[in-house]
Amino acid sequence: MSQDLNKKSAAEAALAFVEAGMVIGVGTGSTVNYFIDALIKLKEIIDGAVASSEATAKRLRQQQIPLLDLNDTGDLPLYVDGADETTKDLCLIKGGGGALTREKILAAASKEFVCIADQTKLVDVLGAFPLPVEVIPMAKSYVARQLAVLGGRPIERKGLTTDNGNLILDVHDLKITDPKAAEESIDHLAGVVSNGIFARRPADILLLGTDEGVKEF
């Protein structure tokens, strides 16, 4: 089966976690776009959605799903988002779409985080996917030097300004054997807004679209 079909089936399986009256946190990316398209069926019973990016907000608006502000909703019952890599213990690398900071905020503010991904995203050790790090523009060179000291090879993502007005450094050549420690040490660098390791707040449930159907971890 194709990767796209596996993304779609994982996304559709996440509908089972949606309940009447919920405000749902919605991530960013192609797998999440399948989720938004499926969510149309339930749009009359939910109270609305909080978007993790301008791109997701646009798609939710197009589907006439009411958009709410996290500052008005309080904590959310459910957050649904994709991943660039996931381990079996549900630590993730995210940020391939550049939305990692808002995604991390929504994950932190949600009671349940359901990750939807296709089978190619499952790894034993995080880091083959270059780790996205959102950086304040004036700190770019300083942070890049510090990331090199940590053993990474940072490359600026050209032509991308995040929704928060910052830059992304994609860090190659990291083998992230202790995701929590790596997340913490990169976050502590001055000038880093956030990094794409989701280990301190991992997903709670992984719906993995595979050629044999959707597997739940």
Q: What is the smallest separation between the CB atom of 196 and ligand 5RP, expressed in angstroms?
A: 7
- Helix or strand run (H / E) with residue 5: helix 3-13
Q: What is the smallest separation between the CB atom of 117 and ligand 5RP, expressed in angstroms?
A: 7
Phi, psi of 28 (to 5 degrees): -140, 145
Are 64 and 49 contacting, i.e. CB atoms less than 8 angstroms apart? no
Contact footprint for ligand 5RP (CB under 6 A): 27-31, 81-84, 94-100, 103
19 is annotated as an active-site residue: no
E-assigned strands of 46-146?
Answer: 48-51, 76-81, 85-86, 92-93, 110-118, 131-135
Tell me the C-alpha distance between 21 and 32, whole Å: 20
Closest CB to ligand 5RP among residues 112, 142? 112
Tell me the C-alpha distance between 10 and 110, whole Å: 20
Q: What is the smallest separation between the CB atom of 29 and ligand 5RP, expressed in angstroms?
A: 3
Q: What is the smallest separation between the CB atom of 81 and ligand 5RP, expressed in angstroms?
A: 5
Tell me the C-alpha distance between 153 and 170, whole Å: 8
Query: Of 12, 103, 134, 183, which is the active-site residue?
Result: 103
Closest CB to ligand 5RP among residues 81, 147? 81
Active site residues: 103
